[in-house]
Chains A and B, each alone.
Chain A
Amino acid sequence: MAKRSARPFSVTDLPGFATIAILAFVALYVPILTLVAYSFNGATSVAVWGGFSLQWYVAAWDNTVVQAAAMRSLGIAACASVLATTVATMAALGTTRTAPFRGQTAIYVAINQPLMVPEIVTAVALLIFFAAIKVATGYTGLAYLVMAHTAFCIPFAYLPIRARLEGMDLSLETAAADLYASRWHTFRYVTLPLLAPGIAAGAMLAFVISLDDVVITEFVKSAGQDTLPTYMLGQMRRAITPETNAISTALLALTVLLLTAFFILTRKRD
């Protein structure tokens, strides 16, 4: 009689891999869930659990410093993502689905440059650059932050738009041109609507990236220009209260929301 092994041989199984993977997922999520759980802590200290409460959300909501930082974060993210997406869309149209042209690789490298330079280096560079401008012009407004964010958001906006463009059916535009549509009309009524999900995805990524930034903002901001992340970084140096957990959880929820939307937008055909 054949003795059957306990588990049939599976080609794709590698010993211990599933266990390590599950451990990794647990390790990834336990801290996040802990952070979320503590945000509902009824106690005044993070050290003890005082029952379920929304008090820290209320406290954060009522905190005028947090309010200002949140508004600033959202404002900068909105401006930077719109600007970055606009220029990235143009660049994507200029570098995708085109006959090879002089400088194509250079443009590609330049656009992706922020991905290759450590944030701290860019941060220091902008600190020096903006310090000089601040001295020269006397202007210390939010435009510095908006422009800095716009720059490092460009590659994040560019990539999904480019991917969408590359996956698009060229024959649709040829068909439109064949039907006597002008270049502008073809772009406005054929290319742009087809590209819209890519643009939306790019804008969303840019928004998330801007919202998340700590290092560059920390170096570029003038006094009193804290965004939510730099505010939280400042808090972490002092006594941490569950208020920070509440703000983190809210940001986390926003990220998950945007990410889900991003997935739905980019999933198109399948």
Chain B
Amino acid sequence: MSQAATAAVAVEGRNLVKAFGQGNAAVRALDDVSVTIAKGEFFTLLGPSGCGKTTLLRLIAGFESPTSGEILLDGRDITALPPNRRPVNTVFQSYALFPHLTVAQNVAFGLQMLGKPKAEVSATVERMLALVKLEAFAARRTSQLSGGQQQRVALARALAPAPQVLLLDEPLSALDLKLRKEMQTELKRLQTETGITFVFVTHDQEEALTMSDRVAVMSAGQILQTGTPRQIYTRPANRFVASFIGETNFLTARISGGAAHLAGGVIPLPAGTADTASATLAIRPEHLRLAPPGTPGALTATVAHSVYFGTDSHLHLRLADGAELVARQQTSADGAAGPEPGAEVGVMIAEGAVQVLQE
């Protein structure tokens, strides 16, 4: 069984530490990070800037050496290998296309460095340009291309040598919104078609959720949670993950007898929840539903104000102790306005929507 598991692993990082600077001024960009990335998966490192996600990517690429820890590629220790001897390619945030070469020459570069025969190089270049739909631009200089086209060249160039793993460092951040959406679909398609393992770095949670097979959420040099987008969204491991991905209401409550006690009422919790004097509950705004005041099982709250978004509105509610929470209300078909500010309402919570966070 462990045999099979090892075979399916593309990249493994073991207890990776990367410190920049010396002595007291040293900053730990990575603080004992271990990660396992499976073959053929679209794996995303998600986190705010400075969380260490790019450092981890650069360690895999070989541009930086870890202070301690190991990196394994296909079960082989590559920690000491320089980047030009790792079967890994990178799509750079700034694309880093060679300005003195044409599009085709850029794509051919890696293959030539590997010493591939001429015929194979030109065949692969043609295939790659077709893959990214840039056949017509082969002879152009890269400076004559639009941002989106440069992005495609960078992709083709990195995919051409058929790397075991493709590393993508915020490749979409320089594109405008419309192009970014297009490229998201494009990237996913390329990944499925080529079957290559993608390690994708982003600070955009929506990008991470829509494209990835699995996501690792990072903060302050550590991986806080790894899981499928669904797991990360519905079962965030802690407050940081819950707040970084999507919108979340945090409520402080006392837990006793399998229920959470709040200022506005009592919420039933899954069986076996331990008693505690103060716990943090996370509830997504879309899991709250308004009900007439006094409905059994509903919390009592007052409407503070509401913000209209078209498809839905956000109702800002206040509990008796001043705690605030937001409920997302779908706009009704008849266009009727919701409750006015100051109105008292009942708040129903969907079953299983409450997540008790470990502090």
Q: Do chains A and B touch in the complex (CB under 8 A)?
A: yes
Binding site for B on A (CB under 8 A): 1-5, 8-9, 11
Partner of A11 from B63, B70, B79, B80 at Cβ < 8 Å: B63
A and B contact pairs by CB, cutoff 8 A, 20 listed = A1-B70, A2-B70, A2-B77, A2-B79, A2-B80, A3-B80, A4-B65, A4-B79, A4-B80, A5-B65, A5-B80, A8-B64, A8-B65, A9-B62, A9-B63, A9-B65, A9-B82, A9-B83, A11-B63, A11-B83
| Bound-state Cα–Cα, A11 to B83, Å | 9
The interface bits of chain B over 41-77 (1 if a CB of A lies within 8 angstroms of the residue's CB, else 0) are: 0000000000000000000001111000010000001
Across-interface contacts of A3 in B (CB, < 8 A): 80
* Secondary structure dominating the interface of B: loop
Closest to A6 in B: B80
Min CB distance A10 to B, Å, is 9
Residues of B within 8 A of A11 (CB): 63, 83
Minimum C-beta distance from B73 to chain A (A): 12
Interface residues on chain B, number (Cβ under 8 Å): 10
Q: Restricting to B75-98, which residues have a CB under 8 Å from any CB of A?
A: 77, 79-80, 82-83
A5, chain B: closest CB distance, angstroms? 5
Closest Cβ neighbor of B80 among chain A residues: A5
The closest CB in chain A to the CB of B83 belongs to A9
Residue of B nearest to A7 (CB): B65
How far, in whole Å, are A223 and B64 apart by their CA atoms in the complex? 67
Residue of A nearest to B71 (CB): A2
Q: How far is the CB of A24 from chain B (nearest CB, A)?
A: 27
**B237, chain A: closest CB distance, angstroms:** 29
Q: Which one of A2, A4, A5, A11 has the highest number of Cβ atoms from chain B below 10 Å of its Cβ?
A: A2
Specify which chain B residues have a CB less than 8 angstroms from the CB of A9 in the assembled complex.
62-63, 65, 82-83
CB neighbours of A1 from chain B (8 A): 70
Alpha-carbon gap, A4 to B80, bound state (A)? 5
4 pairs of A and B residues whose beta carbons are closest in the complex: A8-B65, A2-B79, A9-B82, A2-B70
- B131–chain A nearest beta-carbon distance, Å: 28
Q: How far is the CB of A256 from chain B (nearest CB, A)?
A: 34
Q: How far is the CA of A9 from the CA of B83 in the complex (A)?
A: 8
